[in-house]
Amino acid sequence: MRVVGEHEICCCGARVRISANGIEVLSAPLVEYCPLHEVLYGTKHIDGEAVRETVKMKIANFRFCCGNRALDAEPVVAYGASEMMRVWLEKGLVDCSVVVCEGAGTVITANGKLVQGIGARLTGIIRTSPIPSVIERIRLEGGTVFDKTSAQIDQLEGVKQAFDSGFRRVAVSVAGFQPKVISEIREFATSADLDVLIFSVCNTCVDNADVKHIGKADVVCASASKILRREIGSKALLQLGVTIPVYALTEKGKRLVLAYLSQFSDKLVVFRTRKLPYLAENRIPKLKSCSNNQTH
């Protein structure tokens, strides 16, 4: 598969540049082992080469960063942001989603299948460049690309455009390397009296200073972060999963998470607890000892 343009992503806590020149791992991964990553990619020990191989698999199997990018709407993980947003859209609980796609940047859509097609096996997009065929495919699938010229990632402006387009209930994903955007979206929604559900994703690299922003989200994926398990998990109203826990922090977030679970096909165990997070030490990602998440 031929990569088009230049893109930078976060994978296992490592920054990775992808272009026609190849895959460059720009920083060491923060994660040493992740049970979910092993299930998806067969990796028992994560280092720079394992990250490179993971990205190669994304390109080969899903045409990641390529002109003929796959938009497979099949669910991949149990409690992913795109899986949940798809259900919320199809059940009419939100009017549209504001998400990010490599080759397009910020995308606004009411098509749940498109949200899942974009989000399946997607990791955090730090920056991207436009891929015209991907942008056109998104348009044909009922999506609007915020900035077709530069594929800008701007979730706040995406939310504003969604409301300007007539959508009243908006779900938006925000990556952990842009935590201040959560506060900016919340401030905008409050001042304009608008209904926004914020889903915080890709949080492996967050530090203590980011918690004050991430704590303003409705739903938070802890990724591999020990900081979020401790600081955000303790404030949660509801927790989904153990390996990569997802926390509902607000009543709205809890209500929508429960709506998602109401159509979940697998068997579930639900029990009451006086304290969160719920941890199982043998099922959480192992971080490298030098990472901030490990030592804080």
pLDDT digits (tens, 9 = 90+) for 241-291: 999 999 999 999 999 999 999 998 889 999 899 899 998 878 889 898 644
pLDDT digits (tens, 9 = 90+) for 90-141: 999 999 999 999 999 999 999 999 999 999 889 899 999 999 999 999 999 9
| pLDDT at position 289 | 67
Q: Where are the domains of the chain?
A: 77-295
- Long-range contacts of 271-278, Cβ-Cβ distance < 8 Å, separation of 24 or more: 275/234, 276/233, 276/234, 276/236, 276/239, 276/247, 277/222, 277/229, 277/230, 277/233, 277/234, 277/236, 277/239, 277/245, 277/247, 278/239, 278/242, 278/245
pLDDT over threshold 60, residue 149 = yes
| pLDDT at position 288 | 84
Q: What's the pTM?
A: 0.95
| pLDDT at position 76 | 87
pLDDT-derived band at 294, boundaries 50, 70, 90: very low
| Average pLDDT of span 55-60 | 95
